[in-house]
Amino acid sequence: MKNIGVLISGGGTNLQALIDKQGSVLKSGRIVCVCSNSSTAYGLKRAENAGIPTKVIRKNADCGGDMDEFNRQVCAYMKEMKVDVIVLAGFLAVLGGELLDEYTDRIVNIHPSLIPSFCGDGFYGLKVHEEALKYGVKVTGATAHLVNEITDGGKILLQKAVEIQEGDTPEILQKRVMEEAEWIILPEAVELVCKSV
């Protein structure tokens, strides 16, 4: 059984999917801690409700605005909690340095598009869906992938397509991509990594 640490920034619906799939889809790991870079992230409440330890580490307030220090502190917490596999579940900061070296091929991210479309620096959250609608693609989806030093550039683990419908707004599309793709493939991808490391 591998120890999973989940990093979040917001609502935490992907964290909830992981919590709900523990013991069924997610058999080879269990969530031992949740770390947020925002003190107001609702995902913290979801973790508390599930009895999972939480920690807030903010780049500005706790790390003097220094990204290297932020990475050091997150890495130290992951090690303290004996984390084997890290999951970025709606974590809207780019990781680097020590954390990537320490956890090479053991960090999974969920991205709300079919990579290599609508990804890379600046493409996160609702913005991804705004751009997909603006471009006029007929199919989008989600990608679970390993994290390396290139934003959204690591090895793809799983992808799932979602059709765009007449009248979609970024908000409607975001919800459908979550329901039909993200919440399904993220627990599956985390299971694959837990089983293989």
Residues classed as catalytic: 111
**167 φ/ψ sector (left φ>0, alpha ψ -120 to 50, else beta):** left
What is the number of other CB atoms lying within 10 angstroms of the CB of residue 92?
13
Residue nearest ligand GAR, CB atom distance = 90
The minimum distance between CB 6 and ligand GAR, in angstroms, equals: 10
Binding site for ligand GAR (CB under 6 A): 8, 10-14, 43, 89-90, 110-112, 124-125, 128, 178, 182
Rounded least distance, CB 124 to ligand GAR, Å: 4
> Least distance in Å: CB of 194 to ligand GAR?
19
Closer residue to ligand GAR, CB minimum distance, 64 or 121: 121
Q: Between residues 76 and 92, which has the closer beta carbon with respect to ligand GAR? A: 92
Nearest distance from C-beta of residue 186 to ligand GAR, angstroms = 8
Q: Please, which residue, 186 or 194, has the CB nearer to ligand GAR?
A: 186
Q: Which is nearer to ligand GAR, 63 or 108 (CB)?
A: 108
